Amino acid sequence: MPSPFPGMDPYLEAPELWEDVHANLATELRAQLQPQLIPRYVAVLAPYVTYEDIAIGEVSAVKPDVAVQLREPVAPSRETSSPIVAPLIGVSTLAEPEVPAKTQRIEVRRVGDETLVTVIELLSPANKRAGTESFEAYQRKRRDLLRSPVHLLKIDLLRRGVRWPIDTELPPAPYFIFLSRAALRPQVEIWPINLGDPLPRVPVPLQAPDPDAAIDLGAALARVYELGAYALRVDYQRPPPPPPLPPADAAWAAARIAAWREGRAGSETGAGQ
């Protein structure tokens, strides 16, 4: 069954779902691109690791700072009659308060010499959480890309966290797509996406004089939602993950979910007859 939402489903932003959504969406977008690219280019899934907070909503499920375990005393050595005192064993989470999360980006490469032409990034929470080591590392990689002749397409389907720093004031939309074409920098093409908007079809630039390829983000997410059986995994009786929706969006979402549940109940009743 399709999602209650015509575009991005905010419930898919939940930490327990997003890594799965992210991986499946990257795979689906690559499948869309490949027939448009060959034989001059190929789309490659490039895995990398980010570090995410262990969090569910606003409540962090972090382990205690120090866990203490007591071991049995060590037997005396032959060289001395004084026993070696057994230490307490502590496990600290202060140095690494995050856990690794596997993510993927799509790289468009030229056939023959593997020249990197375009990078398509699906942002993860770690890419948007300012003040962390993962965020700073990501910012450095982004700056390196922007200094290169590589096109950069960033797909931001997460309401939480910082946006790409743009001099132009962004409209108050929950989702964005940014495209930085190498030849037009510092100009950036921007697609703001409101909660009720269908996800757009956006260009994927290649090397001149080749025309742009394209990805249909709405069709990709719809297929991912179906194949991932998210209709069975999402609890639509609860509010979506933070941040809270604005009142108008929350009322609209509640109405969409109510209609969706009625339609689902009706289809299940009809199937059982």
On whether residue 137 sits in a domain, the answer given is yes
**DSSP symbol at 22:** H
| pLDDT above 80 (res 89) | no
On whether residue 126 sits in a domain, the answer given is yes
Q: What percent of the chain has pLDDT over 90?
A: 62
On whether residue 234 sits in a domain, the answer given is yes
**Which residues are within 8 A (CB) of 102 and not within 5 positions of it... i.e. 6 or more apart?**
19, 23, 47, 48, 49
Average pLDDT score over the chain? 83
What pTM, to 2 d.p., does this model score?
A: 0.78
- pLDDT for 103 equals 77
On whether residue 80 sits in a domain, the answer given is no
For residue 242, the enclosing domain spans 10-57+94-272
| pLDDT above 50 (res 95) | no
237-259 pLDDT, tens digit per residue, is 999 999 999 999 999 999 999 99
- pLDDT class of 169 with cuts at 50, 70, 90: confident
On whether residue 265 sits in a domain, the answer given is yes
- pLDDT for 128 equals 86
On whether residue 143 sits in a domain, the answer given is yes
Higher-confidence position of 268 and 187: 187
On whether residue 50 sits in a domain, the answer given is yes
171-205 pLDDT, tens digit per residue, is 999 999 999 999 999 999 999 999 999 999 999 99
Query: Structurally, how many domains does the chain consist of?
Result: 1
- pLDDT for 238 equals 95
On whether residue 64 sits in a domain, the answer given is no
- pLDDT for 88 equals 58
- pLDDT for 98 equals 55
Cα–Cα dist 219/188, whole Å: 24
- pLDDT class of 135 with cuts at 50, 70, 90: confident
- pLDDT for 138 equals 75
- pLDDT for 267 equals 67
42-53 pLDDT, tens digit per residue, is 999 998 665 555
